[in-house]
Structure 1
Amino acid sequence: MKSSFFGQTDCMIKFINALVLATALLFSPPLPAASSCINEPHPSDTEIKTICLTFDDGPTDSTTPKILDILRKENIPATFFVIGRQISSRKEILQRTFDDGHAIGIHTYSHEYKQIYASTSALLGDIRRCQKSIREVLPEWNSDLYRFPGGEAGLSDTLISAVKNAGFRICSWNASIEDAVSPNASAEDLYNNAVRSAGEKNHVVLLLHDGVGYRETIRALPKIIEYFRSKGYTFQSL
């Protein structure tokens, strides 16, 4: 009887351990998607507020250096998604972006939508060409950050899957100052767009541009930084 009792007890302990493990797995939070730059915060992190300033369409002579000046003054890291064909004549600007500690991601080589999205091979070819242009200036650069020109909304699953399968992390945004779609907007308009689109999000990825002609973006940036700081956000790169 004694042997039988201990045998039953051992089985019961194993059953309870298995039940506890199964329960833990059932209620554990899901792992974040490896292919996205925007992840929902873990429940324990809901009080931590972060913002990533992201700039598309540089480097340019007229805008990028002024953006970098502001970021350096404010001691803020950001992320720049660059256009490959603009790099060869602006190597020093790309080098400064990297040296200042900002993240650099791939945007496109040509920014010609019809060419880029003609096929999977055309898209991946454009990405690789941009990647090569960056590495010619920054041999030590190594990043999997990628942002679709125009964003991934409306693109086929085939194109999106091809980018993910090639090892790139697709970086969208969840707030925008709308400087690219509102060319006549004032700095105040752009600031208001940032505040409105960010809303009450704890984790903000804000879309801005450092292409040619974005004077109002430069003017709006200090006020945007001031606002998010006043709301307790921490600035970080992707």
Structure 2
Amino acid sequence: MAALNSSPEETTTGKKVLYLTFDDGPTIITNDLLDVLKQCNVKATFFVVGKEICGREDLLKRIYKEGHSIGLHTFSHNFKKIYKSDDIFVKEMLDDQKKVKEITGLNTNLIRFPGGSSKHLDSEMLEKLHKNNLKVYDWNASIEDGVNPHLSVDKLVNNSKKYKHRNDQIILLMHCNSNNTNTIKALPQIVNYYRSNGYAIKPITDKTPEYHYSFRK
């Protein structure tokens, strides 16, 4: 896995950093999730799916207006389609980018591979992404709510404490599908745990160093 390096700000403050990230939205639970983030006074990063935005433009606008960062998670989230070729994958991201910009005015370049980049990213693909000014962000911790959205709140919280590699900068994978209601319930405990352990909680920005898995062989 590629190293997750510190940004200048993080280096000078010496703080540990947690990035809360939510994949697959916006959905019918996004408003409730945003309410909890507001109550916790934290900003997160939403890797959104283009087709999910249609009819939920107001949710995307709320994410943006409340200061959360927005990333791209392809337009269709159809694994058979998006991973058919590198060019199709890039187009999916650019179509998603266009949709986000139409609604918010934001031209985001943050992307996350559905399922992670480990089986799909090589030097040629990375070059194509960089030519389109796209930056890749995987994760080094997960609450596993994508694998099993019905895990108990306690299990989700416990999973959030299990990180791989460096523990001073954690990118935590979570989801906001319609069945991720327990994720919302677990979020305050996750925030409190990391705050009590000295972590600053920040959204990913284009100044955040890329973080992606090692290239496929």
- Cα distance in 2, alignment partners of residues 46 and 96 from structure 1: 30
Change (3 A) 1:67 1:196: same
- Cα distance in 2, alignment partners of residues 104 and 236 from structure 1: 13
Give, as a single letter, the amino acid of the residue that structure 1 aligns with 2:58.
Answer: E
Q: TM-score, normalised by structure 2?
A: 0.86
- Cα distance in 1, alignment partners of residues 166 and 130 from structure 2: 30
3-state SS in 1 of match to 2:128: helix
- Deviation of residue 185 (structure 1)? 1.3
% identical aligned pairs? 38
- Cα distance in 1, alignment partners of residues 166 and 89 from structure 2: 35
- Cα distance in 1, alignment partners of residues 6 and 156 from structure 2: 26
- Matched with 1:164 is 130
Among 98, 113, 116, the residue aligned to 1:151: 116
Q: Is the 8 A contact 1:105 1:146 kept in 2?
A: yes
- Cα distance in 2, alignment partners of residues 84 and 166 from structure 1: 18
Give, as a single letter, the amino acid of the residue that structure 1 aligns with 2:186.
Answer: A
Residues 1-238 of structure 1 mapped to structure 2, 5 A cutoff: 38-40=4-6, 47-61=14-28, 63-139=29-105, 141-157=106-122, 158-197=124-163, 201-238=167-204
Considering only CA atoms, is the larger Rg found in Structure 1 or Structure 2?
Answer: 1
- Cα distance in 2, alignment partners of residues 154 and 121 from structure 1: 16
Any runs of at least 4 consecutive aligned residues in structure 1 with deviations exceeding 6 A, and if so which?
none
3-state SS in 2 of match to 1:206: strand
Change (3 A) 1:41 1:137: closer
5+ long unaligned stretches in structure 2: 205-217
Change (3 A) 1:226 1:155: same
Q: Is the 8 A contact 1:56 1:207 kept in 2?
A: yes
- Deviation of residue 155 (structure 1)? 1.2
Structure number with higher relative contact order (C-alpha < 8 Å, ≥ 6 residues apart): 2
3-state SS in 2 of match to 1:128: helix
| Aligned residue pairs, count | 201
Change (3 A) 1:198 1:153: closer
- Cα distance in 1, alignment partners of residues 11 and 4 from structure 2: 17
More helix by share: 1
Q: Between 226-235 and 156-165, report the one with greater CA deviation.
A: 156-165
- Cα distance in 1, alignment partners of residues 42 and 52 from structure 2: 24
Q: Between 193-202 and 111-120, report the one with greater CA deviation.
A: 193-202
- Cα distance in 2, alignment partners of residues 71 and 44 from structure 1: 26
Change (3 A) 1:44 1:113: closer
3-state SS in 2 of match to 1:196: coil
Give, as a single letter, the amino acid of the residue that structure 2 aligns with 1:152.
Answer: S
3-state SS in 2 of match to 1:228: helix
- Cα distance in 2, alignment partners of residues 41 and 136 from structure 1: 30
5+ long unaligned stretches in structure 1: 1-35
- Cα distance in 1, alignment partners of residues 149 and 107 from structure 2: 33
Q: Between 96-105 and 142-151, report the one with greater CA deviation.
A: 142-151
Give, as a single letter, the amino acid of the residue that structure 2 aligns with 1:90.
Answer: R
